[in-house]
Amino acid sequence: MFENIAKEINANLKNFCTFKIGGRGTILFPKNQFEVKRILNDCKKNCLDFFTLGNGSNVLFPDGELKKVIIDLRKLNNIKITKQGTIMAEAGVRLFAFNKFLEQNGFAGFEWSYGIPATIGGLTFMNGGAFGEEVSNYIKKVKVLKNGKISWINRKNIDFSYRKSNIEGIILAVEFKFKKTDSRIIAEEQRKFFDIRKKTQPYDKFSAGSVFKRFDDKIPAIMIDKAGLKGVKIGGAEISTKHAGFIVNNGDATSKDVKDLIGLIKKRCGNLECEIIILE
């Protein structure tokens, strides 16, 4: 099983997520789309569950052993400009690299995403967004591996909603459409958005971004702040004093600490829906 595929068995999951929390698990590092396909075949044959990992910036791993096999897509990291002038990025491309590419080649519109520590695949799956924008606004089509078959799905056939898509299977690549502008203007805009992010979010601490989704007109961070919960700690996990929508890991937080803090917030603020993906 998983022959000639790079892997780490009994890996420390802390090293594979921005929360820096987690126990142990098996991680596979396919270097191309064919290896991803082969891994899925092996999983099916051996009745193994798998979890697709981007940059781990929206996940909470368990403290113990993760029974699912993790497929880490970060080696799928090619970006190119197509003949039609669109941008094709593989799922494992990190947003920092993607934004650098857009800046250098004068493609504008995506500056708002600068600083989100995601991959293209993760951002697309989650329909990530900020400052009133969403990644789905710029997508033309998505390449997906599902039931052993690779196919491109047009944007109009995908349901994107707030921090959600109905994409099934593994995203292998995404094609985008952007406007052309002067690189200096793009760099300036990127810096502007990154500065706001660093000023308003606990960017220097380990976290997985906003823990809860917004709903109706309600903003969880404001509700948590109003409930007087800013700065409340359980073990090594703390509700950020800078942005109450974030839970930060002060260094030795466990998954249980974070889940207990989430439980406390829900008890005090009502039944908020988690944005972060909690793995057991």
Ligand X SMILES: Cc1cc2nc3c(=O)[nH]c(=O)nc-3n(C[C@H](O)[C@H](O)[C@H](O)COP(=O)(O)OP(=O)(O)OC[C@H]3O[C@@H](n4cnc5c(N)ncnc54)[C@H](O)[C@@H]3O)c2cc1C
Which residues are part of the catalytic machinery?
Answer: 163, 210, 275
Question: Count of residues for the chain?
Answer: 280
Using CB under 6 A, pick the residue from 33, 99, 136, 207 that binds ligand X.
207
Q: Tell me how far, at minimum, the Cβ of 120 lies from ligand X, in Å.
A: 8
Strand runs (DSSP E) across the chain, as ranges? 7-12, 24-28, 50-53, 59-60, 69-72, 79-81, 87-90, 107-108, 129-130, 133-134, 139-146, 149-154, 160-161, 164-165, 170-176, 179-180, 233-234, 237-239, 247-249, 277-278
Task: Report the site for ligand X in 185-204 (rule: CB under 6 A).
Answer: 201, 203
Q: Does 145 sit near ligand X (CB under 6 A)? A: no
Looking at the Cβ atoms of 101 and 268, the one nearer to ligand X is 101
Give the bridge partners for 12, in sequence order: 24
Nearest to 150 by CA among 165, 122, 172, 126: 172
Q: Does 121 sit near ligand X (CB under 6 A)? A: yes
Beta-strand relationship, 69-72 and 24-28: parallel
Gyration radius of the chain's alpha carbons: 19
Q: Tell me how far, at minimum, the Cβ of 148 lies from ligand X, in Å.
A: 16
Q: Does 59 sit near ligand X (CB under 6 A)? A: yes
Tokens 């974070």: give the residue: 258
Using CB under 6 A, pick the residue from 50, 51, 101, 178 that binds ligand X.
51
Helix, coil or strand: residue 214 = coil
Q: Does 122 sit near ligand X (CB under 6 A)? A: yes
Tokens 């293209």: give the residue: 120
Q: Tell me how far, at minimum, the Cβ of 182 lies from ligand X, in Å.
A: 25
Q: Compute the distance between CA of residue 208 and CA of residue 276 in angstroms, rounded to an integer.
A: 7
Looking at the Cβ atoms of 125 and 138, the one nearer to ligand X is 125
Q: Does 118 sit near ligand X (CB under 6 A)? A: yes
Using CB under 6 A, pick the residue from 27, 60, 170, 224 that binds ligand X.
170
Binding mask 233-272 for ligand X (x = CB under 6 A): ----------------------------------------
Q: Does 142 sit near ligand X (CB under 6 A)? A: no
Query: Rounded to 5, what percent of the chain is helix, strand, coil?
Result: 30, 30, 40
Q: Report the interface residues with ligand X, using CB under 6 A.
A: 18, 51-59, 73, 91, 116-119, 121-123, 125-126, 128-130, 170-171, 201, 203, 207-209, 277
